Amino acid sequence: MISALAYLQLQTARNRLLVRIRRLRQPKYLFGGIVGVLYFYWYFFRPVLMSTHRGQGASFQLFGITPELMESVVAMVLFVVVAGSWVFPSQRAALTFTEAEIAFLFPAPVSRTGLIHFKLLRSQLAIFFTTLLLTLFSRRFGGQAWIHAAGWWMMLSTLNLHFLAGSFAQTKLMDRGLTTWKRRFCILGLVGVLGVSVAAWVWVGLPSFAWPAKVVTPVAVEKAAEGPGSAEGVQHVQAVRDYILLATRSGPLAVVLYPFRVIARPFLASDRASFLAGFGPALLLMLLHYAWVVRSNVAFEEASVEASRKMAEKVAAFRSGNWQAAQKEMKRRRDPFPLGPVGAKPVALLWKNLLSLGQGFSPRLWIGFSVMLLVVGLSVGPSLGRSGWGAAVGMVFGILFSWSILLGPHLLRQDLRQDLQMMDLLKTYPMRGWQVVLGSMLAPAVILTAVQWLLLWVGGSLLLFAGVKGVPVPAILGVGLGASILVPVTNFLLLLIPNTAVLLLPGWFHTKEAVQGIEATGQRLILMLGQLLALVVALVPASLMFSLIFFLLKFATGALWSAIPVASVAAALVLVGEVSLGVAFLGRVFDKFDLSDELKG
């Protein structure tokens, strides 16, 4: 029976691969496949082939992290993941099968253990692929590739077995009358007892934590003024690291984290001897989980049929562009804002797209989060500034702000990319083409602008409190205000580019099934490069206008930093003109758009 199930899995994988290879006969997939292969080679395989690293210890020291500390960190992360798998599930154990698998396997003379083996074999295909990607990524930081691969496979396989065995155990508890909330109360109670025990152990059994003594010399004073990157800051980091190691490798926490350390040790091994020493216990722990799974006598067939039905509905809804249609049990939530019967027509699409975000968008939630961040910033900001860490944390917020500009338009797709398969319905609305295009882009633009303004405020406040050396306060205020002015219209410009691609290249967004594979990655890379090139071209006129106004005001008034907001307003007006022309152009394209004609052949 195992051989038949393995044959079925191999044939499924083979047919899936052949379908993707045949798909390369279409130019849109062939070009994407070529770019995807070049990307994976350049980013993943080339560093591995050209790398001269052989040990892993050097890679840890590069970040100031010892292998012992990394082992403790990985063990704590695994503990949190496993504890969460016992707290959050609220349904019976279910193995998800496709409708075809249910039709052929459930009536067949296949035992319950055989179905579990089938599920485990299928999960191994995903685990092997994930292991390959994680190995290529982690290998960039040093270490031996085969150790990384075996370590990732061991961790992922053990976690997969534990999740499955845990779901079976929770189903047994439910059959014996233990409700979901009682189980959560028990698990959280055990975690609370562990936390109290660890705190008591640290308070009683460990020496009090103390910062390294300061040596007051002229050189030390000069180094201390440099902030957290100075020698004193390094000593503080080392002191915290040593105390964390002492707390996690002794007392009750050492006992609780021991099995998770066993799982992590093969991956963190630096050579063959240490890998073999850690592989044996880790393999034994994985085999114990396997025995736990196959010996669990739990009826999962009915729950699996229901889970498979829901999964099929979600897949069908996702392919039709209405991914929330299958969520019938989703609790009704409040509208993002009251939508009046009369008003600007694009606002109706803004309301619709905000509603499609589901539980991810709630004005009350975001306002509460902003107020909380404001209170925390006002209370913690001055102390961070005096300690020298304010500038570092402020730079982190600046990096997040930059990443939000580059990646935000790709992550928030509540625009024409989401509504592509509903174009026929959109064309029936009593709206002009430019109104549909503008309304479709409003939701991601509003969300991105709100997040970026928040990042700017927090990062700028921390820099003001820190008092960055060589940067006057007016400079921080001027740059922050100028960026706040440019952010909204820049978001519209960035969102205009992928929405243009949707209307001009709909075949890259619309398929009968969800596009996956290396060719899909190549398509996304081509779109990102095209977006970057179009952005650079679009910013040239705005940059010239900014420079002209800035230098005129500088020479006329001598006010250097106050000229930045005024020049930003002028540049924003240029960008508004470009966005208006783009929206008008896309409106005409939308009026003539016919999805059936675009996808012929």
**The two three-digit tokens of residue 269, written as one number:** 């091994």
pLDDT band per the 50, 70, 90 thresholds, residue 583: very high
pLDDT: is 222 or 462 the higher one? 462
Say yes or no: 69 and 57 in one domain: yes
Cβ atoms of residues 282 and 158 within 8 Å: yes
pLDDT: is 58 or 281 the higher one? 281
Instruction: Please determine, for residue 240, whether its predicted confidence score (pLDDT) is greater than 50.
Output: yes
Say yes or no: 189 and 212 in one domain: no
Count of structural domains, the chain: 3
**Predicted pLDDT at 516:** 58
CA distances (Å), origin 563, targets 476, 487, 568, 570: 13, 17, 8, 11
Say yes or no: 476 and 552 in one domain: yes
Place of tokens 């609220």: 90
**Predicted pLDDT at 63:** 46
Instruction: Please determine, for residue 577, whether its predicted confidence score (pLDDT) is greater than 80.
Output: yes
pLDDT: is 266 or 396 the higher one? 266
The lowest-confidence range among 74-83, 255-264, 374-383 is: 374-383
Residue-number span of the structural domain to which 227 is assigned: 208-249
Say yes or no: 193 and 245 in one domain: no
Report the C-alpha gap between 250 and 263 in whole angstroms: 18
What's the pTM value of the predicted model, to 2 decimals? Answer: 0.60
Say yes or no: 450 and 407 in one domain: yes
Q: What percent of the chain has pLDDT over 70?
A: 70
**Predicted pLDDT at 449:** 92
Cβ atoms of residues 518 and 36 within 8 Å: yes
* Residue 566, in any domain of the structure: yes
- If you ran DSSP here, which 8-state letter would residue 209 be given? P
pLDDT: is 232 or 445 the higher one? 445
Mean pLDDT of 216-220: 44
**Per-residue model confidence as pLDDT tens digits over 371-403:** 666 665 555 555 555 555 556 667 777 888 888
pLDDT: is 419 or 514 the higher one? 419
Residue 133 DSSP SS3: helix
pLDDT band per the 50, 70, 90 thresholds, residue 361: low
Instruction: Please determine, for residue 95, whether its predicted confidence score (pLDDT) is greater than 50.
Output: yes
Q: What is the 3 state secondary structure string of 284-335?
A: HHHHHHHHHHHCCCCCCHHHHHHHHHHHHHHHHHHHCCCCCCCCCCCCCCCC
* Residue 21, in any domain of the structure: no
Say yes or no: 202 and 212 in one domain: no
* Residue 341, in any domain of the structure: no
Report the C-alpha gap between 545 and 573 in whole angstroms: 9
Mean pLDDT of 75-100: 79
Instruction: Please determine, for residue 535, whether its predicted confidence score (pLDDT) is greater than 70.
Output: yes
Say yes or no: 294 and 441 in one domain: no
Mean pLDDT of 269-286: 91
Mean pLDDT of 64-91: 82
In the listed set 193, 217, 249, which residue is the last one of a domain according to the structure? 249
pLDDT: is 162 or 506 the higher one? 162
Over the chain, what is the mean pLDDT?
A: 76
pLDDT: is 354 or 89 the higher one? 354
In the listed set 219, 249, 279, which residue is the last one of a domain according to the structure? 249
* Residue 343, in any domain of the structure: no
**Predicted pLDDT at 218:** 46
**Predicted pLDDT at 219:** 44
pLDDT: is 360 or 491 the higher one? 491
Neighbouring C-alpha atoms within 13 Å toward the C-beta of 478 = 15
pLDDT band per the 50, 70, 90 thresholds, residue 325: very low
pLDDT band per the 50, 70, 90 thresholds, residue 518: low
Say yes or no: 415 and 282 in one domain: no
Q: What percent of the chain has pLDDT over 90?
A: 16
Cβ atoms of residues 498 and 409 within 8 Å: yes
Say yes or no: 405 and 278 in one domain: no
- Decide: residue 475, CB within 10 A, 0-12 exposed, 13-18 middle, 19+ buried: middle
* Residue 293, in any domain of the structure: yes
**Predicted pLDDT at 478:** 84
Most confident segment among 207-211, 468-472, 587-591 = 587-591
Report the C-alpha gap between 477 and 459 in whole angstroms: 11
**Predicted pLDDT at 212:** 56
Give the burial string for 226-246 (b: 16+ CB within 10 Å, else e).
ebbebebbeeeeeeebebeee
**The two three-digit tokens of residue 253, written as one number:** 């926490």
* Residue 559, in any domain of the structure: yes
Say yes or no: 161 and 232 in one domain: no
pLDDT: is 178 or 363 the higher one? 178
DSSP codes, 254-274: HHHHHHHHHHHHHHH--SHHH
Give the burial string for 112-143 (b: 16+ CB within 10 Å, else e).
eebbbbbbbebbbeebeeebeebbbebbebbb
* Residue 337, in any domain of the structure: no
The lowest-confidence range among 57-66, 176-185, 399-408 is: 57-66
Q: Any residues with CB less than 8 A from the CB of 294 and at least 6 apart, and which?
A: 113, 116, 117
**Predicted pLDDT at 461:** 76
pLDDT: is 101 or 387 the higher one? 101
* Residue 460, in any domain of the structure: yes
Mean pLDDT of 301-325: 58
pLDDT: is 132 or 46 the higher one? 132
Cβ atoms of residues 29 and 526 within 8 Å: no
Say yes or no: 433 and 384 in one domain: yes
Say yes or no: 421 and 558 in one domain: yes
Report the C-alpha gap between 463 and 466 in whole angstroms: 5
